[in-house]
Amino acid sequence: MPEKETLKRAAQDRRQGKAASTQAGEFVREEVRHVREGKHGARSAKQAIAIGLSKARRAGVKLGAPKRGSAKLKKQAAKDRARGRHPGRTVSPRRSRASKRALQKEPRSAATHRALSTQAQRSAQRRSAASRSAAAKKGARTRRSKKKPEHGSSLST
């Protein structure tokens, strides 16, 4: 179960009309923090991110299945989204305990700055230059511009 603070941040992102991937980012951040704190481990940065995305789908974030990936992966993403549409169902304690124990045996190096950086670079390399450029342009367009007050124009008598 995600922390209340994470759910609150994701809900705020949804209210502000931010993209599903931005909302899901809160859950990924939480997962990375858990690995860094030693709550559990992950085999790779990719696995830590995948756990966060799965949690996001189960919490009701309207995040689609990945475009690339196996049929099994897409099926699991669809299952997670279905769980997100009907929250509040009980979780099997035995299964929960088993998955937690398995993750506790995994290394903590998956959430290091270096591992996450490597994962981000590999992920970016898989995208086309046009795709990366379009994302950068969209980011520049949607980024809120901070207007600076003009000096000497307000109250001069």
Q: What is the pLDDT of residues 19-54, one digit of tens each?
A: 999 999 999 999 999 999 999 999 999 999 999 999
Find the mean pLDDT for residues 117-124: 94
Decide if pLDDT at 69 tops 80: yes
Buried b (16+ CB within 10 A) or exposed e, 69-90: eeeeeeebbeebbebbeeeeee
Residue spans of the domains in the chain: they are 1-85
Q: What is the pLDDT of residues 77-106, one digit of tens each?
A: 999 999 999 877 788 899 999 999 999 999
- Which range, of 36-40, 41-45, 58-62, 63-67, averages the lowest pLDDT? 63-67
